[in-house]
Amino acid sequence: MIVTNNRPLKIKGKLQIQLASAEIVTKEGTTGFCRCGVSENKPFCDESHRKIEWIG
């Protein structure tokens, strides 16, 4: 897991994520999880943090 200021939480490896809808999504490589709250594809980062003055 990688935590960087003003960026999403990044986790490396093969992941299975159960979404709020109960759908299970598989991700490989590096997956970014939204920390800013603005992503339209939560829980994943969609780079929207670049459009706001978010400090986190």
| Interface residues toward ligand FES, by CB under 6 A | 8, 34-36, 38-39, 45-49
Q: Are 28 and 17 in contact (CB under 8 A)?
A: no
Chain centroid offset of residue 26 CA: 13
Q: How far is the CB of 4 from ligand FES (least distance, A)?
A: 10
Q: How far is the CB of 17 from ligand FES (least distance, A)?
A: 16
Closest CB to ligand FES among 22 and 46? 46
Give the burial class of 11: count Cβ atoms within 10 A of its Cβ; 0-12 exposed, 13-18 middle, 19 or more buried: middle
Closest CB to ligand FES among 31 and 35? 35
